[in-house]
Chains A and B, each alone.
Chain A
Amino acid sequence: MKFTLIENLGYRSLVVVEHLGRIAQFALRITACLLVPPYRFRRLVGDVYDAGVLSLPVVCLSGAVVGGTLSLLGYTTLVRFGAEEALGALVGLAVIRELGPVLTALLVTGRAGSAFAAEIATMVTTEQLDGLRMMSVDPVDFVVSPKALALLIAMPLLAGLFAVFALMGGYGIAVGLLGVDGGSFMASMEGSVKFWNDVIGSFSKAITFGALTGLIATYRGYISEPTAAGVSAATTGTVVIGSVTILVFDFFLNGFWGV
């Protein structure tokens, strides 16, 4: 029994290591395709539209709601200490440093990442990728690379918008509902949020998460089994693995670099 458990653990570890190796190889292939002509601007624009523009409603709405909630929660705590004028700092720092990039990445993984994974997996199932290969067209170059790059481009832009809507939501609730002075809300936010440390740090996080989401979504779609269950597994796998990876990377980025 013990031996079987150890054997099982060893086998699973090997599978994980093998996948990590394949993902690294896949990332190199995508990078090479993006650097070497032909550059596929038309496909890239279409994919940025799918990943970015179509994610706008969900990202903006979520941003506003998260900002408002943060204001409500922060106010009930800060008012006990008579520090409600620090609400702007709390909302600003929490949204810009942490919630903006992380929640945007989770939302985009669930919406655009899973959609890209499903699209690529369906192309595997319907032999569209094999069709490209038979036309001497590399599917990684033609299909995968523009999608991965699109997520990398869209993620920081969406994270920025999420933060703007969250700050607006937080300000609206604080000033309009809770009666916090608008000037002190903005002044405390201005005083505590540092451009290089917080804003650029947040931007770097969003880029990192965009690269991770792009890589995981396209890889899961590309290696999927050519069956309906394969498409489903690719979609679920993208959301689960993508979300966990984003949270783990966020921890290390915060821990090691203070971003």
Chain B
Amino acid sequence: MSEPREPEFRIAFDGVSLKRGDRVIFDGLSCGFPRGRVSVVLGGSGAGKSTLIRMIGGLQRPDSGVVRVADEDITRYSERELFKVRDRIGMLFQGGALLDSMTVAENVALPLREHTRLSEKDIEAEVDRRLVAVGLSDAGQLYPRELSGGMSRRAALARAIVMDPEILLVDEPFSGLDPINVRRIEALLVDLNRHLDLTLIVTSHHMASSIRMADRLVFMVDGIAIAGPPDELLKNSDERIVEFLVAESDSFAEHHELDVTPLMDRRTLPDRRKKS
């Protein structure tokens, strides 16, 4: 069921293998992530979901195989070369990874201060715009330790999108969150994809959110990927997928019918699709 790399894929893995000690993480993994779509990577704990996302960001190298990001083979890139690729990528880490010595506003402003020549006034305006977009307009002066889990992830999301990346990697955005915050983050991610035309790759355990969001599901099982549109894959009789779905079915039932109005203010985001 592993699929070959296809030319329309923004990101592609080709025969990627990785071992940690005796444990095989990836065993000739091949899969792709299409441009401008939401791809959700599903799999049990230790299936390699976070490792897959870290490989796309160049934070982890495979033992063998090729990882392509935006048509560039980044597998053997140096740190300097990776910086150029990462300019096109935003990443939301599971814990947020906000710098705890800085306020939320300083965190969001950091990429702008490092990589642009914008005036302080313009940077402040841009930061405010992003914080409004994620529903944290009053949290700019707070430190990360003063934020709740959901707020922390939204602040990290504001930082991840402040440079208008083409690709957004999101690692376990729903873990440890209550259902309301799950829907908030989900709505934010979907809106970002729709309005900024982002290629969005999300890892998750959360079946209900994954099925609602995904244009494409990627199941990580036994070191390989089984990928396709959600409708097709959910009808798939592959026993490894069925096993995963059964294990996650409680979570699905719990959240599937839940409806919370998204908090994102769409007016604060530019509409790239209209421009093009």
A residues engaging B (CB < 8 A)?
Answer: 46, 123, 126-128, 130-138
Given contacts A133-B57, A136-B86, 15 further A-B contacts (CB under 8 A): A126-B100, A130-B54, A130-B97, A131-B93, A131-B97, A132-B99, A134-B57, A134-B86, A134-B89, A135-B111, A135-B114, A136-B83, A136-B84, A137-B111, A138-B79
Inter-subunit contact A128/B86 (CB<8 Å): no
Contact A126 B97 (CB under 8 A): yes
Given A126-B97, A128-B97, A128-B100, A134 contacting B79 (CB threshold 8 A): no
* Closest CB pairs A-B (n = 3): A131-B97, A136-B83, A127-B97
- Complex alpha-carbon distance, A130 and B100, angstroms: 14
Residues on A with C-beta less than 8 A from B159 are 135
Closest partner residue, chain A, to B57 (CB atom): A134
CB-CB contacts below 8 Å: B94-144 with A: 94-95, 97-101, 110-111, 114-115
B-to-A contact residues, CB < 8 Å: 54, 57, 59, 79, 82-84, 86-87, 89-91, 93-95, 97-101, 110-111, 114-115, 156, 159, 163
List of A residues within 8 angstroms of B79 by Cβ: 133, 138
CA of A169 to CA of B84, assembled, Å: 57
Q: Which residues of B contact A131 (CB under 8 A)?
A: 91, 93, 97-99, 156
A138 to B97, CA, bound (A): 15
Q: Chain B contacts of A123 at CB under 8 A?
A: 99
Say whether A133 contacts B86, CB under 8 Å. Answer: yes
List 21 A-B residue pairs with CB atoms under 8 Å apart, sorted by A's residue number. Answer: A46-B101, A126-B95, A126-B100, A127-B94, A127-B95, A128-B97, A128-B98, A128-B99, A130-B93, A130-B97, A131-B98, A132-B99, A134-B86, A135-B115, A135-B163, A136-B83, A136-B87, A136-B111, A137-B110, A138-B79, A138-B83
Chain B residues with CB under 8 Å of A46's CB are: 101
Please state if A135 and B95 are interface contacts (CB–CB under 8 Å): no
Contact A134 B59 (CB under 8 A): yes
Q: Which residue of B54, B84, B86 contacts A135 across the interface (Cβ within 8 Å)? A: B86
A137 with B114: CB separation less than 8 A: yes
Q: How far is the CA of A133 from the CA of B99 in the complex (A)?
A: 12
**Judging by beta carbons under 8 Å apart, are A134 and B91 in contact?**
yes
Closest B residue to A131 using CB positions: B97
**Is there an interface contact between B114 and A136, defined as CB atoms closer than 8 Å?**
yes
User: How many angstroms from the CA of A160 to the CA of B169 in the assembled complex?
Assistant: 51
A228-B246 Cα distance, complex, nearest whole Å:
34
Residue in B closest to A129 when the chains form the complex, CB atoms: B97
Contacts of B82 in A (CB 8 A): 133
Q: Given the complex of chains A and B, what is the CA–CA distance between A181 and B96 in angstroms?
A: 65
Report the minimal beta-carbon distance from A86 to chain B, rounded to whole angstroms: 51
In the bound complex, CA of A102 to CA of B83 (Å): 41
In the bound complex, what is the Cα–Cα distance between A138 and B115 (angstroms)? 12
Distance, CA A130 to CA B51, complexed state (A): 13
Alpha-carbon distance A127/B172, docked complex (angstroms): 14
